[in-house]
Amino acid sequence: MFFDLALNISLAALVLGLAYRLWRWLTTSIGPDSRNYTPIERLSASLKGLGRALASRRALPMLAALLLDGLLQRRSLGHSRWAWAAHMLIFWGMLGLIFLHALGPLIVPSFTATLNPWLFLRNLFGAMLLAGALMAMWRRLRTPGLRRTTHWADRAVLGLLALLVLSGFALEGAKIISVHSFDSMIEEYGTLSEDGERAALGQVWREQYGVVFPQGQVPPGLELMEQGLELHNDSCVDCHDRPQWAFVSWPLSRLLAPLAAWLEAVRAALWLYYLHFLAAFAGLALLPFSKLLHIFTGPLLLTIRAAGSREAMDPAARALVRALELDVCTHCGACSVHCSVAEALRHVPNLSVLPSEKLLALGRLARGTAGHDEALDVMRQGAYLCTSCLRCTRLCPVGINLQDLWFAMKDDLAEMGYGPPVREVAKRADETAGDSRNLVPIHLGHSEFPRELGLTVQAETFRGCYRCATCSNSCPVVFSYDDPVKELDMLPHQIMHSLGLGLSEEAMGARMTWYCLTCYRCQEACPQGVKVADVLYELRNLAAARQGQGESC
Amino acid sequence: MTYALFLGCKIPYYVPHYETATRRVLGDLGVKLVDLEFPCCGYPMRHLYFRSYLLSAARGLALAEARGLDITTPCKCCFGALKRAQKFLADKPELMAEVNAELAADGLNYQGKVVVKHILQVLHDDVGLAELGRRVVRPYELLRAAILYGCHAVRPSEVTHFDDPSNLHLIDDLVKVTGATPVPWAGRLSCCGAPVRERNEDLALATIRKRLSEARDAKADILVIACAYSQMQAEWAYSLAGPPPQREFIEGPVLYPQLLGLAMGLSAQEVALERNTPNGEYLLSFLKRD
């Protein structure tokens, strides 16, 4: 009764959760080009596209993707062989257990869980799942690149899987030694006529099946074995293979044997039974609300991927796929472990530099829960530190086109007024410089400033400037404007000279500092050895640091 | 001749034809390329995040050093960024110590041993012009080439050591060996505009457009490029320029390994000419006919 109620509740949560997710795929927009499509348009474009692909020659690659990338998880080999092994163990172990617990009794006539091969297989699949979950946990704890992106949800899912298997093994172990189980089986299936027969059967089950009887119930010797075996063959053997085949639960039952009386008294087997099925149903109910959802969405996306390129996709269908991709991510961390710009994290403590975390940020952005300006600033920094090197997209085991999402994210951010950080820093530096620029005469200040320019050894070289303007005369930026002083605020030689005067804000705010092409003509030409281009680089760094947009040290 | 190939971040997505041609041509010439999982060279981070730039570059250098390999890169900006980082670290021992302390977390260490070369230096100095001359089986005829030398390879010369700064000839030599004729033109040593694209798109576009017009004014048939960013810039300008008849530019940008590969007898597909914007197959019409 309670079992059925719990099952039905979890199934209802599953169905409602899936419907909710589907609704999100139809309504969440990523990138300005995804908006303006109704849910109906998205759905019909996607179904049409899928239908067309299945009817074409693309069907074969789609099937191959489903088998190789879905069932055999070929793509995760590109990330790590250990990750692949762990996930294969979890995936096939889980699939086997689902078959044995839910589908086997429906499909196989005369299915009996306590007979081989099922008895053995149940332990095998359980051991696989447990080993996979432990490997995954170990990797998350031990791999530095993975540890920093591991969230409580990642641990919770692995913990739930481990709980599921461990409670199953414990339940089986407790039942092996349980006299209560022995008696209820006699009651249900046995045809014993007298009390002596229970003792006889008890001797067989004690010796061969590991039941632990309290003292006095079953005589300690073996004198009743012959009679017991006869009863056993009549009533039990058809449904029970030796529990030693349960190669995990059997040794566990031997460990539990000394506690048998206590376990029986607290009805441990019953509680373990509740724990076991509730853990399973919790997994079922949480599936649409957690990364477990990738069980469904992963193969779907891998198949869609094989149907054609993202560029060729109908924009309405692309809108749906992008939203779907947010829910395919398993947060496995492959992208972040291999990210080209992960080193930046050491000095720019912003986790959304890493693809796996940036995807979470994108989810908040797309659902309008990104929050305040500061959060958007952080997102912008992550989005623009990305070099679009494509590595994460090539690696993603579930085939998310992250590159496409990053471009769409930048477009969304730009629309909200969050373009490249470097432009924002330049703008703020310009505003800061604006006031003093209009003062005549200019007030000198910030005598501390030259000391801040110390990132590199040549920072001090600006002191050698004697305003010959060779740098400005060799600068292609200067020659790109009709009235360079007006459009660039200061020319390179003026910036170098003003540094000597301590006019830091004017130098940082000058548009010249930000429009520098870094072609190094100035530096190459300077007769005084002033490292003009490198000093301009440092000025940009310094402006960012002063605005709190730069590095933390 | 074995090098770790530092492909850089832009080539895989934006300029895959560069990778195809580079691997094929260098492979055919006996240069063995080893793929390591390099991080970003740090160049794009340098404007705002100097330490991140330095650390990322140093990580790449240390990875190659750990394998006892020297680095070669097809990208002039990766080349410049790595060379610059080497100089920064060599000049300031305390910076080197700090960076190494950070690298130590991943069991890495940079000692300054690794040599960084652009692929053109490998072709010019390691493979050699004589060998290239032998391998060119199908030289170009009447092909006038405007060479874009590439700022971050050439300057600051005291850091990059790409070529003789008072008499740049390295790319000219490499172009001549294919039978093409380098033409004198205004933009030879100028900037393509890529570095400022994020900060000032108009200036970036005006800069590359100026280069393309200058090359046309010099009556060049092609623009020879050997940098991921310059190629992206040129292709960007062409993609905005509309169909060919209205163009005010020359025929198109070609990556040096593509130019060389065709002359070595490789097919257009083998050097991925069809991936260029505009399609680079017009180059075939300049090859000498038997």
Q: Please write the tens of the pLDDT for every residue from A220-241.
A: 888 889 999 999 998 899 999 9
Distant-in-sequence, close-in-space partners of A200: CB < 8 Å, separation ≥ 6: A224, A225, A227, A228, A231
Distance (Å) from the C-alpha of residue A523 to the closest C-alpha of chain B? 7
Say whether pLDDT at A326 is over 70: yes
Q: State how far the Cα of A321 lies from the Cα of A316, in Å rounded to an integer.
A: 9
Q: What is the pLDDT of residue A1?
A: 81
Chain A, nearest residue to B7 by Cα: A389
In angstroms, the CA B171 to CA B224 distance is: 9
Is residue B286 pLDDT above 60, yes or no? yes
Interface test with B, best of A146, A311, A338, A343 (most B CBs within 10 A): A343
Residue of A nearest to B204 (CA): A517
Cα distances (Å, whole numbers) of residue B282 to A101, A332, B143, B289: 66, 46, 11, 15
Query: In chain A, pLDDT over 90 holds for what percent of residues?
Result: 78
By CA distance, what is B59's nearest residue in A?
A: A343
pTM assigned to the model: 0.93
Q: How far is CA B288 from the centre of its chain?
A: 26
**Pairwise CA distance, residues A411 & A416, whole Å:** 9
> pLDDT tier at A370 (50, 70, 90 boundaries)?
confident
The answer to whether the CB atoms of B195 and A515 lie below 8 A apart is no
Is the pLDDT assigned to residue B22 strictly greater than 90? yes
Q: How far is CA B85 from the centre of its chain?
A: 18
Between chains, do A388 and B102 touch, taking CB under 8 Å as contact? no
Q: Which residues of A touch B106 (CB under 8 A)?
A: 144
The DSSP letter of residue A102 is: I
Tell me the nearest-neighbour CA distance from A347 into chain B, angstroms: 6
Token digits of residue B203:
């200036």
Q: Using an 8 Å Cβ cutoff, are B278 and B241 in contact?
A: no
Distance from CA of B50 to the nearest CA of A (A): 7
pLDDT at A385 over 70: yes
Q: Which residues contact A372 (CB under 8 A, 6 or more apart)?
A: none
Q: Which residues of A touch B207 (CB under 8 A)?
A: 476, 480, 517
Is pLDDT above 50 for A449? no
Q: Write a three-state SS string for chain B.
A: CEEEECCCCCHHHHCHHHHHHHHHHHHHCCCEEECCCCCCCCHHHCCCCHHHHHHHHHHHHHHHHHCCCEEEECCHHHHHHHHHHHHHHHHCHHHHHHHHHHHHHHCCCCCCCCCEEEHHHHHHHHHHHHHHHHHCCCCECCCEEEECCCHHHHCCHHHHCCCCCCCCCHHHHHHHCCCCEECCCCCCCCCCCHHHCCCCHHHHHHHHHHHHHHHHHCCCCEEEECCHHHHHHHHHHHHHHCCHHHCCCCCCEEEHHHHHHHHCCCCCCCCCHHHCCCCHHHHHHHECCC
Asked whether this complex has an ipTM greater than 0.85, the answer is yes
Which residues partner with B2 through β-bridges? B32
Contact (CB<8Å) B45/A341:
yes
Q: Cα(B271)–Cα(B174) distance, rounded to whole angstroms?
A: 17
The phi and psi torsions of B38 (rounded to 5 degrees) equal -75, 145
pLDDT at B245 over 60: no
B267 CA to chain A: closest CA distance, Å?
A: 26
Strand order in the sheet with B32-34: B32-34, B2-5, B70-73, B116-118
> What is the pLDDT, as a whole number, of residue B175?
98
Nearest-angstrom CA–CA distance, B177 and B139: 8
pLDDT in tens, B6-17: 999 999 999 999
> What is the predicted pLDDT for the residue at A437?
73
- B9 and A519: CB-CB below 8 Å? no
Q: Assess whether pLDDT exceeds 60 at residue A143.
A: yes
Judged by CB atoms closer than 8 Å, whether chains meet at A519 and B49 is answered as: no
The tokens describing A429, both together, are 């530096």
CB A475 within 8 A of CB A532: no
Cβ contact, residue pair B49, A541, below 8 Å: yes
CB-closest option in A340, A348, A385 to B39: A340
Tell if the CB–CB gap between A480 and B13 is shorter than 8 Å. no
Cα(A96)–Cα(A91) distance, integer angstroms: 9
Pairwise CB contact (< 8 Å): B52 & A456 = no
Q: Which residue has the tokens 């060279």?
A: B41
Sheet of strand B144-147, all strands in order from the earlier edge strand to the far edge: B181-182, B144-147, B222-225, B253-255
For B103, phi then psi, to 5°, come to -70, -30
Looking from the CA of A6 toward its CB, the CA atoms found within 13 Å total 14
Q: Flag if B9 and A388 touch (Cβ within 8 Å).
A: yes
Which residues of chain B does A519 touch, with a Cβ-Cβ cutoff of 8 Å? 151, 155, 190-191, 195
Contact across the interface for A541 and B156, Cβ inside 8 Å: no
Distances (CA, A) of A331 to A141, A146, A294, A365: 15, 10, 10, 18
User: Which among A342, A480, A553 is the nearest to B203, CB-wise?
Assistant: A480
b or e along B57-75 (b: 16 or more beta carbons within 10 Å of the residue's beta carbon)? bbbbbbbbbeeebbbbbbb
Cis peptide before A441 (omega within 30 of 0): yes
pLDDT band at A142, cuts 50/70/90? very high
Which segments of A438-550 does DSSP mark as H helices, in order?
449-452, 470-473, 484-488, 492-500, 504-509, 511-515, 521-525, 532-546
Judge: B45–A518 Cβ closer than 8 Å, yes or no.
no
A457 pLDDT band, cuts 50/70/90, is very low
Residues of A in contact with B165 (CB under 8 A): 524
Q: What is the DSSP letter of A312?
A: T
- Which among A346, A524, A531 is the nearest to B52, CB-wise? A346
Closest residue on chain A to B91 (Cα): A457
Total residues found in chain B within this entry:
290
Nearest CB among B88, B91, B190 relative to A476 is that of B190
How close is the nearest chain B Cα to the Cα of A431, in Å? 16
- Contacts A–B by Cβ distance under 8 A: 145
Least confident of A80-94, A119-133, A204-218, A386-400: A204-218
In this predicted structure, the answer to whether residue A454 has a pLDDT above a threshold of 90 is: no
For the four alpha carbons of B239, B243, B244 and B249, in that order, the dihedral sign comes to: negative
Cα distance from A536 to chain B (closest Cα, Å)?
A: 9
Q: Do the chains contact at B155 and A421, CB–CB below 8 Å?
A: no
Q: Which of A343, A346, A544 sits opposite B48 (nearest CB)?
A: A544
Are B196 and A517 in contact (CB < 8 Å)? yes
Q: Is residue A330 helix, strand or coil?
A: coil
* CB-nearest partner of A520 from B156, B193, B198: B156
DSSP conformational letter for A244: G
Q: What residues in B contact A383, CB-CB < 8 Å?
A: none
Angle between helices A355-366 and A373-385 (to 10 degrees): 140
Quote the minimal CA–CA distance from B285 to chain A in Å: 32
- Is A550 close to B48, i.e. CB distance below 8 A? yes
Res B244: pLDDT: 62
**Which of these, A288, A316, A228, lies nearest to A49 by C-alpha position?**
A316
State the pairing for strand pair B181-182/B144-147.
parallel
Q: How far is A420 from chain B (nearest CA, A)?
A: 7
* pLDDT per residue as tens digits for the range B73-94: 999 999 999 999 999 999 989 9
Question: Cβ distance A191 to A234 under 8 Å?
Answer: yes
CB contact under 8 A, A538 and B44: no
How many angstroms separate the CA atoms of A24 and B80, rounded?
46
**pLDDT tens digits, residue range B142-201?**
999 999 999 999 999 999 999 999 999 999 999 999 999 999 999 999 999 999 999 999
The answer to whether the CB of B84 falls within 8 A of the CB of B129 is: no
**Rounded average pLDDT over A119-128:** 97
Contact A550 B49 (CB under 8 A): yes
CA dist B149 → A36, B115, B188, B197 (Å): 46, 21, 6, 19
Mutate which of A453, A519, A530 to test chain B, going by most B C-beta atoms within 10 A? A519
Contacts of A420 in chain B (CB under 8 A): 198-199
- B39: nearest CB among A343, A394, A456: A343
User: Of the candidates B45, B154, B156, which has its C-beta nearest A385's C-beta?
Assistant: B45
Nearest CB to A537: which of B8, B10, B47? B47
Residue with tokens 């899928």: A50
A375/A418 Cα distance (integer angstroms):
11
CB atoms A519 and B157 under 8 Å: no
Contact B50 A537 (CB under 8 A): yes
Q: Which residues of A12-36 are buried (b: 16+ CB within 10 A; e: fewer)?
A: ebbeebeeebbebbbbbbbbeebee
Residue A155 has pLDDT above 50, yes or no: yes
Per the CB < 8 A criterion, the answer to whether B19 and B7 are in contact is yes
Partners of residue B181 on adjacent β-strands: B144
Residue A234's CB is within 10 A of a number of other CB atoms, namely 13
- What amino acid occupies position A328? V
Distance from CA of B139 to the nearest CA of A (A): 33
Comparing CA positions, the residue from B160, B210, B206, B205 lying closest to residue B188 is B210
Mean pLDDT estimate for chain A: 92
Using CA coordinates, name the residue in chain A closest to B191.
Answer: A519
| DSSP result, A417-469 | T---HHHHHHHHHHHHHHHHHT-SSPPP--TTHHHH--SSGGGGGGGG-----
Look at strands B222-225 and B144-147 and give their pairing: parallel
Question: CB-CB: which of A515, A524, A553 is closest to B155?
Answer: A524
Q: What angle do CA B31, B13, A73 make, to 5 degrees?
A: 90
What residues of chain A lie within 8 A of the CB of B196, using their CB?
477, 515-518
Tokens of A187: 């009651």
Rounded Cα distance between A281 and A351, Å, is: 34
β-sheet bridge partners, residue B177:
none
Which residues of A are less than 8 Å from B59 in CB distance? 343
Averaged over A506-526, what is the pLDDT?
95
